[in-house]
Amino acid sequence: MCPMHLASIDSSKPLPGLYTHLFWLLLWGVIWNGTGCKQAKDPIPYKAQPYPLAIPASLPDMDIPEDNPLTVEGVALGRRLFYDPILSADSTQSCASCHRQAFAFVDSSLQLSTGIDQVQGTRNAMPLFNLAWQGSFFWDGGASNLESQVVGPITNPVEMHEDLPNVVVKLNRHPEYPNLFRQAFELDAEEAVTIPMLMKAIAQFERTLLSGDSKYDHWKQGQASLTDQELRGLALYQDFEKGDCSHCHVLGSTFSDFAFRNTGLDSIPVDEGRYRITLNPADLGKFKTPSLRNIALTAPYMHDGRFQTLEEVLEFYNTGFHHPSNLDANLEHAIKGRLTVQDKEDLIAFLHTLTDFNFIQNPDFSKPD
């Protein structure tokens, strides 16, 4: 066909042939765009950019779920949602109401936080940093991943007490959120904001909350020195006969193995802890081992915030723990009264070297403008 056509395009009569070709090419174009079950959707005007996550040298590599990669747009959206009271039923509380950056994202000095209905919860708000290395969330590990955790506080009657369908309505009729979600998740114009998208966005922001820039880290990197007292504390931290902290709050990196343990807070647990999730009697009274990074900022302590100071915590591990049948093995043989007053002061001095002042002042984590 082509050679014939080329031959037919006479220099004296070029136009009719050209028009014919143009006509058919146009028709093809129309058919191409109009074929019945085309897969192509409207052109996507946004391409979310990969988030340049800078993991501190003191922390390990991070596994990120394949279906929720970090993007600049997603992290920014999650950050905005984290600070927005729109997620609570009466628009008075955001995630940040009980998770405050200045306190490594715990609820300042409150033992128990109060929800929108002025009802107190039963557990101390957990700090938020280095979350990607934790296998499950909440004190009892009930949330199986960071995304799934998000709807817990939003719907809990003693927290933000909101219905998820209502959240969907509020976000979709908001003047800005639909476009922000569209950019973060590369949505078509007609696609609505959903709860799974909300969960993914907040989880993205939370994965960027990294803390690994403390005096201890600087010392490890040869950029700072520890005092004699801090060094004595470090030795006690690792001494199995004395502090014995490092069995569970593994030295360095995340400063916890995040396992569930019964540390003998009560002879008969008031709160069932991990048992509530697994129904395994061996899990009664077990709670997640928290990181000791930023521990000087996150008082009060334990799952129920029963201890106001680090001194109280150390005295509990020194003399106060009970012996329930599933007491953690590392405490089982610990001799009561093994720590002197000086030992405790030294340990506390070391624990203060784990505070990351850059983390609590990082403008990337604060309330967005």
Partner 1 sequence: MNSIFLQNTRFSIALYLLFTIVFIGLAGCKKEDTATHSPVLVHFQTTVRGAEILPGTGEYQNSFGQTFRFDMLKYYISNCALIDANGEAFELANHHLIDIEEPSTATLAFDSIPNKSYTHFRFFVGIDPQHNHDGDQEGALDPVHGMLWSWNTGYIFYKHEGSYLNAAGEWKQLLFHYGTDEAYTEVIIPVDGIDLNGKERSVFLNFDIGKLYDEPNAIDFFVDNARQSVSATDRDWLAKQKENVPNAFSFDRFE
Q: Which is nearer to partner 1, 137 or 255 (by Cβ)? A: 137
- Does 155 bind partner 1 (CB under 8 A)? Our answer is yes
Task: Give the residue, chosen from 95, 132, 150, 297, that forms a contact with partner 1 under the rule CB under 8 A.
Answer: 150
Task: Give the residue, chosen from 145, 229, 253, 366, that forms a contact with partner 1 under the rule CB under 8 A.
Answer: 145
CB 206 within 8 A of CB 352: no
Q: Which is nearer to partner 1, 221 or 280 (by Cβ)? A: 280
Give me 201's structure tokens. 């966005």
Site for partner 1 in 12-41 (CB under 8 A): 12-13, 16-17, 20-21, 24, 27-28, 31-32, 35-37
The residue behind tokens 């897969």 is: 39
Calpha distance 212→54 (Å, rounded): 11
Q: What is the dihedral of CA 65, 260, 82, 181, to 10 degrees?
A: 20
> SS3 breakdown of the chain: % helix, strand, coil, rounded to 5?
40, 5, 55
Q: Which is nearer to partner 1, 150 or 327 (by Cβ)? A: 150
CB 308 within 8 A of CB 299: yes
CB of 367 to partner 1, least distance (A): 24
Task: Give the residue, chosen from 110, 112, 138, 220, that forms a contact with partner 1 under the rule CB under 8 A.
Answer: 138
Number of other CB atoms surrounding residue 195 within 10 Å? 15
CB of 271 to partner 1, least distance (A): 13
CB of 35 to partner 1, least distance (A): 5
CB of 116 to partner 1, least distance (A): 17
Give the E-state strand segments of the chain in sequence order.
260-261, 287-288
DSSP per residue over 141-177, as a string? --BSSHHHHTHHHHH-TTTT---HHHHHHHHHTSSSH
Number of residues that bind partner 1 (CB under 8 A): 46
Name which of 271, 364, 285 is nearest 324 in CA terms. Answer: 285
Give me 135's structure tokens. 């296998």
- Does 68 bind partner 1 (CB under 8 A)? Our answer is yes
CB of 313 to partner 1, least distance (A): 26
CB of 121 to partner 1, least distance (A): 11
CB 50 within 8 A of CB 64: no
Residue 178 phi/psi, 5° resolution?
-55, -40
Q: What binding mask, one character per residue, do residues 170-209 give for partner 1 by CB under 8 A, x or -?
A: ------------------------xxx--xx--x------
Q: Which is nearer to partner 1, 36 or 222 (by Cβ)? A: 36
Task: Give the residue, chosen from 91, 114, 156, 253, that forms a contact with partner 1 under the rule CB under 8 A.
Answer: 156
CB 282 within 8 A of CB 326: yes
Which residues in this chain contact partner 1 in the complex, by CB under 8 A?
1, 4-5, 7-8, 10, 12-13, 16-17, 20-21, 24, 27-28, 31-32, 35-37, 67-68, 138, 142-145, 147-148, 150-152, 155-156, 164-165, 168, 194-196, 199-200, 203, 276-277, 279
